[in-house]
Amino acid sequence: MGSFSGFTDRNKQKSIAVQLEGALFISTDLFPYFVLVALEAGGLLRAVALLLFYPIIWLLNLTRHRTAALHAMIFISTFGLKIHSIKAVAKATLQKFFLEDIRESSFKVFSGCGGKKYVLTRLPRVMVEPFLREYLDVDCVVGTELKVIGLTCSGLVDPTGAERAEMEWFQALKVACGDDQLIDVGLAARSEDRSFLLLCKEHYVISPQEDASPLARKDYPKPFIFHDGRLVTRPDPMRFLTVFLWFPFGVFLAISRALVGIVFPYKLILPITALNGFRIRIRVPETQKQTDPKSVVESPKTKGTLYVCNHQTLLDPVLLSTAILRRVSAVTYSLSSFSEVISPIPTVRLTRDRFKDREIMRSMLERGDLVVCPEGTTCREQYLLRFSPLFAEIADKIMPVAVRARSSMFYGTTARGYKWLDSPFFLMNPFPWYELNLHDPVSGRPDSKELCYDIANGIQMLIGKTLGFECTNLTRRDKYRMLAGNDGIDQRN
């Protein structure tokens, strides 16, 4: 059995079999992944029940009853759930945390083998297979099989699955690769079962001294753009306990922060929000700094200013209104009734009919300032979606605004969950952070439709350069088809 560090990339056509927990992944703890399934597919109460049961799970693992601990986590997190909801969470939420758990050194070995790739895991195959096939081009996944009755999970394990005893990994892998065929390279964790290495010509083991550095984002096998779920960080037991204990304080903070934006005048909002932990940074170009702010805010105008910004959360136009010290209106493709009621600024829904929407925005501009987010939806990662050129047809001058938001505990956006909770969840973060970068005006209303596309693309590139984000040609439809399985046309829940 060789040292893991002794592997050399001598043959690009080698096949490889690797354990997921502790070898390809840094962590051997499966609890966070079951928490995510319980929370996103089953709800908060189910996730809390799993957290309360954790001391027993820890004790079972400590006494080497790993199979019993696994069965307990599977039962609590999946009992009664529809199998399609687990698959949806696996694709929309788990992939982010899987990518963050990849061991860089193991990935180099794994990706250096160009033959067939086999992965063995104690996780339910339905939870991990979409990620392994999409991002790592895995040919075969040997994992735990859930027992499904109709379309509903029973919470039990199919006895024909590969988790019942470690030697079944050996048998399942033997069936997968053929009775008379050996795998070229085997990679295992020292603390895990290594029976499958009997089927491998070369053996490599992760030692305790092996580098545990995670794979850098720039080295991801493919760009990671869309994901869903409320939790920002991996919910290991202590972190999830922290989230649970913070929740009531977070609700109080969200209510108080929302009231500040509704009750107080614009000049007082920024200092008050700074006191309650909400950090807002505003940057304006030098040409606007030299202008008297009162003349900008109070000068009579026959027509409002059109502000065009990338979309981070539903709070984008609200905080822009705070930044420029005057009321603005906002247009949106989908907004819950609750969000409309609590919004401190006027909001109008667009119809997705190009001609009607153009007239709606022109009418609103005649009455005052207007904010549009031409991406049509939010994107959590450092990418910009395609900008719709409609805004370029309705205003002579366009003010680009580059927006960046950060949260440490909860995401303030969702594709699959309740959208009316988006703003409350963002405001529940201990120290939410927002940055708004205002740019010099850009001329609009060109003579041809083609020039409108040039203006939209130019503003997208300007905002992308300011934020360090990459511009894409992806759309709202692409996001919702991936995360929610629909076109995202009616999202008012």
Q: Are 26 and 215 in contact (CB under 8 A)?
A: no
Provide mean pLDDT across the span 279-300. Answer: 64
Strands (E), 444-491: 470-471
Would you give the DSSP letter of residue 394? T
In terms of residues, how long is the chain? 493
CA dihedral for 481, 385, 348, 280, sign (positive or negative): positive
pLDDT on residue 444: 87
Greatest alpha-carbon pair distance for the chain in Å reads 84
Distance separating alpha carbons of residues 160 and 171, to the nearest angstrom? 11
pLDDT on residue 491: 56
**pLDDT at residue 485 is higher than 80:** yes
- In tens, the pLDDT along 315-358 reads 999 999 999 999 999 998 877 888 888 889 999 988 888 889 99
- In tens, the pLDDT along 72-124 reads 999 999 999 999 999 999 999 999 999 999 999 999 999 989 889 999 999 99
Instruction: Give the global pTM.
Output: 0.91
pLDDT on residue 487: 81
Task: List the one residue out of 412, 404, 403, 410 whose CA is nearest residue 430.
Answer: 410
Q: Are 136 and 187 in contact (CB under 8 A)?
A: no
> HSE on the CB side for 405, CA within 13 Å?
27
Task: List the one residue out of 320, 442, 436, 335 whose CA is nearest residue 369.
Answer: 320
Residue bearing the bigger pLDDT, 69 or 335: 69
Would you give the DSSP letter of residue 216? P
- In tens, the pLDDT along 387-429 reads 999 999 998 889 999 999 999 999 999 998 899 999 999 999 9
Task: List the one residue out of 86, 62, 63 whose CA is nearest residue 74.
Answer: 86
CA dihedral for 223, 380, 439, 392, sign (positive or negative): positive
Give the mean pLDDT of the chain.
Answer: 88
CA dihedral for 475, 477, 480, 483, sign (positive or negative): negative
- Give residues with Cβ within 8 angstroms of 461, minimum separation 6: 471
Q: Are 53 and 14 in contact (CB under 8 A)?
A: no
Task: List the one residue out of 313, 102, 135, 318 whose CA is nearest residue 221.
Answer: 135
* From 159-173, 200-214, 312-326, the region with the lowest mean pLDDT: 159-173
Burial status of residue 471 (CB atoms within 10 A of its CB: 0-12, 13-18, 19 or more): middle
Residue bearing the bigger pLDDT, 13 or 131: 131
Would you give the DSSP letter of residue 103? B
* Site of tokens 């984002």: 217
Q: How far is CA 329 from CA 179, 326, 359, in A?
A: 68, 10, 15
pLDDT on residue 339: 85
Distance separating alpha carbons of residues 169 and 147, to the nearest angstrom? 18
- In tens, the pLDDT along 435-466 reads 999 999 998 888 788 899 999 999 999 999 99
